[in-house]
Amino acid sequence: MSDSRQTATYLSKRLTAAGLRPVSRFGQNFLIDLNLVDLIARSAELRKTDVVLEIGTGVGSLTTRLSDQAGAVLTVEIDNNLHRLATEELSGRPNVRLIHGDALRNKNSLRSDLMEQIRDAIARIGSEARFLLVANLPYNVATPIISNLLHETPHPDAMVVTIQKELADRIIAEPGTKDYGALSIWIQSVCRAEIVRILSPKVFWPRPKVHSAILKLESIPNVRDQFADLKHFHQTVRALFFHRRKFLRSVVASATKQTLTKEQVDEVLQSLSYDETSRAENLTVQQIQTLAEAIRIAENNAAN
């Protein structure tokens, strides 16, 4: 496909000719401003030693740019017809591997063969290899894709993704704001996050009803070593924000009702000097980390 022709009209005709149309249940919104496609690729600062995962191949516009700049590209497309079309468009690119199917095994994990192929590609490139997610993510899978990848081995060194602006706002939110919550704390605990660009609905086809954002996440070096149990931390953070408006004592008691008594919860909070009016939504990321670790230690002590 000629990049100069990628407009809403061209894409519409191209897909229609192939007997295709966007499928809303797959969250398909094609980015038709090629300057922004270039910006996504450029923001990833790719090297020839990089292994890139793309979720949502679409018609391959971003994939071609990733292929030009990276060492290996693994791109996943759930739509059978788009996968077939992208296979034609990306033929002759030996560093691109297309996968047809869902990138997620379920909402809490990625399909296992996906990470196996990522690890294989990294092994082929060697010690200089980095792993990145670069994608115009389908709206309906953006949160589980980003969140689950942070648990994987290896985890991405960086992610540059197009997502709903509302989701980007939640990820970069600060304490005490309406958008601040479990997702903010989880991602900010292991990544540096910034919004690269806000995108109007008019740069997509079909036009979504919401604004989007290009979000860049960079993994903080060695930060995972500071967590005794990263999975426990993530689960605890989510539990603390199930009832975000309640006082801290109440949410901690609810989150630990199977493991700690209310007296033990009080001991944890008193050890951190939190009073009865404290709320989780007003605590900094670092304070939440300290609280979650205190809870983990108390639970271990109670179990023994």
Are the C-beta atoms of residues 44 and 132 closer than 8 Å to each other? yes
DSSP the chain: --GGG-SHHHHHHHHHHTT----GGGT--EE--HHHHHHHHHHTT--TTEEEEEE--TTSHHHHHHHHHSSEEEEEE--HHHHHHHHHHTTT-TTEEEEES-SEEETTEE-HHHHHHHHHHHHHH-TT-EEEEEEE--GGGHHHHHHHHTTSSSPPSEEEEEEEHHHHHHHHPPTTSTT-SHHHHHHHHHEEEEEEEEE-GGGEESPPSS-EEEEEEEEPTTGGGG-S-HHHHHHHHHHHTTTTTS-HHHHHHHHTTTT--HHHHHHHHHHTT--TT--GGGS-HHHHHHHHHHHHHHHHHHH-
Are the C-beta atoms of residues 108 and 149 closer than 8 Å to each other? no
Task: Tell me the mean pLDDT in the region 142-146.
Answer: 96
Are the C-beta atoms of residues 199 and 258 closer than 8 Å to each other? no
Residue 36: pLDDT band (50, 70, 90) is very high
pLDDT tens column, 78-116: 988 889 889 998 999 999 999 999 999 998 889 989 999
pLDDT tens column, 168-225: 999 999 999 999 999 999 999 999 999 999 999 999 888 889 999 999 999 999 999 9
Listed by start position, the domains of the chain span: 3-225, 230-303
Please state, in angstroms and rounded to a whole number, the distance separating the CA atoms of residues 33 and 262: 56
For residue 5, pLDDT over 50 is answered with no
* Least confident span in 12-16, 72-76, 86-90, 161-165: 12-16
Q: How much of the chain, in percent, has pLDDT values that exceed 90?
A: 79
Res 6: pLDDT: 57
For 290, the token pair is 């300290």
Are the C-beta atoms of residues 98 and 87 closer than 8 Å to each other? yes
Closest C-alpha among 66, 51, 218, 71 to residue 131? 51
Which CATH class name applies to 3-225? alpha beta
Please state, in angstroms and rounded to a whole number, the distance separating the CA atoms of residues 210 and 139: 11
Res 266: pLDDT: 96
What is the phi-psi region of residue 229: left when phi exceeds 0, alpha when psi lies from -120 to 50, beta otherwise? beta
Res 206: pLDDT: 82
Residue 32: pLDDT band (50, 70, 90) is confident
Residue 13: pLDDT band (50, 70, 90) is low
**Torsional sign, CA 226, 229, 235, 239:** negative
Res 97: pLDDT: 98
Residue the block writes with tokens 């496609």: 37
Residue 1: pLDDT band (50, 70, 90) is very low
Q: Which superfamily does CATH assign the domain made up of 230-303 to?
A: rRNA adenine dimethylase, C-terminal domain (1.10.8.100)
Please state, in angstroms and rounded to a whole number, the distance separating the CA atoms of residues 120 and 88: 25
Please indicate whether residue 177 or residue 58 has the higher confidence score (pLDDT). 177
For 217, the token pair is 């996440």
DSSP 90-137: TTT-TTEEEEES-SEEETTEE-HHHHHHHHHHHHHH-TT-EEEEEEE-
Are the C-beta atoms of residues 207 and 8 closer than 8 Å to each other? no
Res 256: pLDDT: 97
Please state, in angstroms and rounded to a whole number, the distance separating the CA atoms of residues 76 and 206: 21
